[in-house]
Amino acid sequence: MKNKGYFAKIAVAISIGAAISACQPEKTSKQPEPIPTGPTAAEAKAFVAEAEKTLAENYGYLAKTAWVQANFVTSDTNELSAMASEKATKLGVSLAMEAKKFNNLELDYDTRRKLDILKAGLVLPAPENDALTKELATITSNMDAQYATGCSANKECYNLGELSSILADSNTTHEEKLAAWVNWRKVSPQMRKDYTRMVEIANQGSKELGFTDTGSLWRSKYDMPADDFAKEMDRVWGQVKPLYNSLQCHVRAKLNEKYGDDVVSSSGPIPAHLLGNMWAQSWGNVFDDVAPVSDVKSIDVGERLKAKNYSEVEMVRTAENFFSSLGFEPLPDTFWTRSLFVEPKDRTVQCHASAWDLSETDYRIKMCIKVNAEDFVTIHHELGHNYYQRAYNLKQPMLYRESANDGFHEAIGDTVALSINDNYLKKIGLIDEVSDERGDLPYLMRMALDKVAFLPFGLMVDRWRWGVFNGEIPADKYNEGWWNLREKYQGVKAPVDRTEADFDPGAKYHVPGSVPYSRYFLAHILQFQFHRELCKIAGNEGPLHRCSIYGNKDAGAKLIAMLEMGSSRPWQEALETMTGSGEMDASAILDYFAPLQKWLDEQNQGRQCGW
C-alpha cells in the first residue's frame, strides 16, 4: 500500500463513504449542492496526533535498518537500506504534503509548531512520485556506499584512515602528503553525476512543499526566516573572524619557514594538504610546527591513556562517568552490548563516529575507537548526543524529540569536552599535577587549531550547498565554487590544479551523505557560550580555559533542564534557559582565547596578514 497509518484510514473512510452513497435510495428531487468547507483546527490536531503515532511505529524499523547497513556494508545491506530510505522518504513526503493543507488555519501553539516540523522534517524531500522517490533513495544509498568503500571509478581503493595518518604525521614530506591528499579525492568524481541528479530531485520535492529550493528548506528549520538565518551566521562569524585571521597568519608563517616559498607562500592561502587534516578543517596535527615555546611540557592525553592501559571501552566508561558526575543517570546496559567500539576485522563498516537513538531505551554509538586524545574527546561528544536523546525522549512527544536546533545537539558533548583539561585529568587520575599557567599558551594554541580553525570550514560547506541548490553554483562549476569559498572563508587553497573533472566536495562524508553542516558551525559557537555560563554556575573564578564543570550538580541541573525541552520551544528560548539570553554570542570564544589572541598579535607584527 502506498499510504500507511493516518492516510490509510482516510482511504478506507473514502471507500466506505462511497459504498454507503451507492446504497442510498434515489432522491425524488434535486438536492442542493453541498458547500465546500476547508480543513478545521480539530482535523489539524487529529492529524498531528496520528502523524506522531505513525512516526513512532516506523522509527525503530528504519533506525535499525540504517544501523545494520552502517555496520555491515554489503550490496545486500545497501539495497535494504535503500528500500528503507525510500519508505521513510515516502512517509515524510506524505506527512509534509498533508501538513501543508493546514497552512492558513489559526491553531494552538503546539499544533502549528508540529505541523511546521513535519513540513521541514525532510533533508532531501522527494516529489510525490514513486519513481523519483525510489531513484532518490537509490542515489543516496549508492553514494554512501561509495564513500564507505573508498574506491575510485577504476576500482583502485584507498583507506581513509591510512591516508589521513600520512597527512597528520609532521615527519612525512610534503610530496607524501600531496599524494595522500590527491588519492583520497579519486573516490569522489564518480559521485558527481548522482549528486547532480540528487539536487534536481530534492529541489523538485522542496518546491512541492512550498520552498524555493532545498537550501531554503534547510534554513527554514531555525525559527526565523531562511534569509535571516544566513545573516545570523555571518554576524557571529564576524565576531570571531579577527581571531581566525590572526591564527591563519601565524600558521602560514610557520609553515613557510618549514617548507619554503616554493611550497607555502608568505602571503595568500595555505595549501590544504599541509594543515594535518584531510579536509583542512582542523589543524591540530601541525601543533608542533606552530606552537608557542614553553618550558612546561604539554600533556599528551593519548600517551597518558596508554600508560594507564586504558582500553577502548574504558575510554567510553570514563566519558559516561563525566555525565554521571553532573547528575545524569547511567547509560542502559544495552548501550554496552549493542554499540560498536572497535573496528571489526571481518567486515566493512562505516567508521565515521555517530550516536544512535533506536528507541526510548536503546542508545548506542558506532565508532572505530583508537586510544588517543582525539578519540577521547570524540567519545564525550558522541555521548553528548545520547544523553540529549534520552533527555527529550523521556519528556517530549514524538515530534519534539530533537534538539532545539541541530547545532545544540552537536554542542552538548563538545561543551563537556571543554572541561577535559588538567583539572579534570587530575581528578580522574590521568595526571598527577596540574600544570602552571606557563603552559596555557600551548594548550590554547592546540585548542584553537581545532576549534577556531574549524569555524570558516563549518560555515562554507553549507554555503556551497545553498549555492548548488539555488543555482548560484551550477553543476558545471561545482568544484570551482567549492574552492572559491574555501579561499574566501578559510584562506586555504587546493595544492594542485583542480578541474570540473574532479568533485572534491564529495571527498567529505557529509556532502554525499547529505548531512547539513551548519550545525557544526553553530555548535562551535554555542559550546563556548554554554561553557562560559556553566562555569559561572559552577563558581569558576579563574580563566575560562581552566574551568572544568566535572562533578558540579548545579551546572548539570541547568544543562539537563535545557536538554529536556527538546525542540518544544524555539531555540532562542532554549538558549535563554541556559544562558539568560536568546541571542548567540561568540564573544565567549574571544574570552576563552584572550591570552592566545594577545600572543598571536605580538607574533604577527611585521607579517603581511590576510589573503
Contact 544, 591 (CB under 8 A): yes
- Output b/e per residue, 325-346; b: 16+ Cβ within 10 A: bbebeebeeebeebbbbeeeee
Of 382, 424, 453, 550, the catalytic one is: 382
232 is catalytic: no
Strand partners, 363: 357
Contact 163, 278 (CB under 8 A): yes
Of 174, 380, 409, 510, the catalytic one is: 510
Contact 485, 460 (CB under 8 A): yes
The number of beta carbons lying within 10 Å of the beta carbon of residue 268 is: 14
Of 385, 524, 531, 545, the catalytic one is: 385
381 is catalytic: yes
- Name the H helices within 185-311: 192-208, 214-219, 226-259, 287-290, 301-307
Of 6, 195, 489, 520, the catalytic one is: 520
Distance CA 282, CA 203 (A): 31
* Chain centroid, CA 160 distance in Å: 19
Of 273, 381, 409, 524, the catalytic one is: 381
Q: Which three cell numbers stand for residue 567?
A: 525542540
Distances from the Cα of 221 to the Cα of 61, 228, 385, 405, angstroms: 25, 12, 19, 8
Of 320, 410, 531, 574, the catalytic one is: 410
Closest CA to 518 of 411, 406, 414: 406
Of 41, 49, 353, 594, the catalytic one is: 353
Q: What DSSP character marks residue 541?
A: -
Of 352, 475, 509, 573, the catalytic one is: 352
Residues 6+ apart with CB under 8 A from 49: none
Residues 6+ apart with CB under 8 A from 391: 560, 563, 564, 566
The number of beta carbons lying within 10 Å of the beta carbon of residue 498 is: 17
Distance CA 402, CA 565 (A): 9
Distance CA 155, CA 150 (A): 9
411 is catalytic: no
Q: At 221, is the secondary structure helix, strand, or coil?
A: helix
382 is catalytic: yes
352 is catalytic: yes
Q: What DSSP character marks residue 134?
A: H
**How much helix, strand and coil, in percent to the nearest 5, is found in the chain?**
60, 0, 35
8 is catalytic: no
**What are φ and ψ of residue 171, in 5° steps?**
-90, -10
Q: At 493, is the secondary structure helix, strand, or coil?
A: strand
- Output b/e per residue, 536-551; b: 16+ Cβ within 10 A: bbbebeeebbebbbbb
Distance CA 609, CA 270 (A): 12
- Output b/e per residue, 475-485; b: 16+ Cβ within 10 A: eeebbebbbeb
Distances from the Cα of 566 to the Cα of 287, 391, 416, 557, 584, angstroms: 38, 8, 18, 15, 18
Residues 6+ apart with CB under 8 A from 159: 150
Distance CA 136, CA 126 (A): 7
Q: Identify the H or E element spanning 355.
A: strand 354-357
Active-site residues: which are they?
352-353, 381-382, 385, 410, 510, 520
